[in-house]
Amino acid sequence: MKTAIYPGTFDPITNGHLCILQKGTKVFDKVVLAVAEFTGKDSVLSTEERYNLCVEATKDLPGVEVQRFDGLVVNFARKVKANAMIRGLRALSDFEYELSQALMNKKLYDEIDTVFFLPESKYLYLSSTMVRQVMQLGGDVHDLIPNCVEEVLRRKFEQA
């Protein structure tokens, strides 16, 4: 059984993430979408909200399981017996950061290798920050995010 993890903040999960995830499920028997509790970023959504939206957005994708993790990502990979980590590479600018992360993760846990997938070109310049910003300012990004994400973010920004 080939298991991979796909870690991230997912604040919120976008169609770009789902695109990467779908590609991962074609290569691995199981992909654990790993929602980081500690992100080092100012998250708009709580861990609970980020996790719930990931569960909802992936409920029809076979071979996907959503879990939360805290601490080092390699320890989580070891716990779920994954020997691959999926990451998306959008533009060249992602490369250097991803390379350093992949090398550090490999140093920390030699059993893990990072596998990169390219998203469809329409998601190449998408980021969670951009989605949050556009929605906060009333813009329309419904074709870039799952419906459940749009509903939760809309409610959150209306309340604020």
46 a catalytic residue: no
Q: Which stretch binds ligand COA (CB under 6 A): 54-62, 121-129, 135-143, 150-158?
A: 121-129
In the region spanning residues 14 to 43, those forming contacts with ligand COA, defined by CB under 6 A, are 14, 16-17, 20, 36, 39
Check binding of 49 to ligand COA (CB under 6 A). Answer: no
By C-alpha distance, which of 21, 31, 23 is closest to 1?
31
Residues paired with 5 in a beta bridge: 32, 85
Rounded-to-integer distance, Cα 23 and Cα 40, Å = 27
**Residues 90-119, buried b or exposed e (16+ Cβ, 10 A)?**
beeeeeeebeeebeebeeebeebebeebeb
78 a catalytic residue: no
Q: Which of 48, 122, 127, 139 binds ligand COA (CB under 6 A)?
A: 127
Catalytic position from the list 17, 23, 30, 50: 17
Cα-based distances in Å from 56 to 13, 53, 115, 124: 10, 5, 25, 23
Nearer to ligand COA, 5 or 30 (CB): 5
Which residue numbers are catalytic? 17, 41, 90, 128
Which positions lie near ligand COA, rule CB under 6 A? 7-9, 11, 14, 16-17, 20, 36, 39, 72-73, 88, 90, 101, 104-105, 119, 123, 126-129
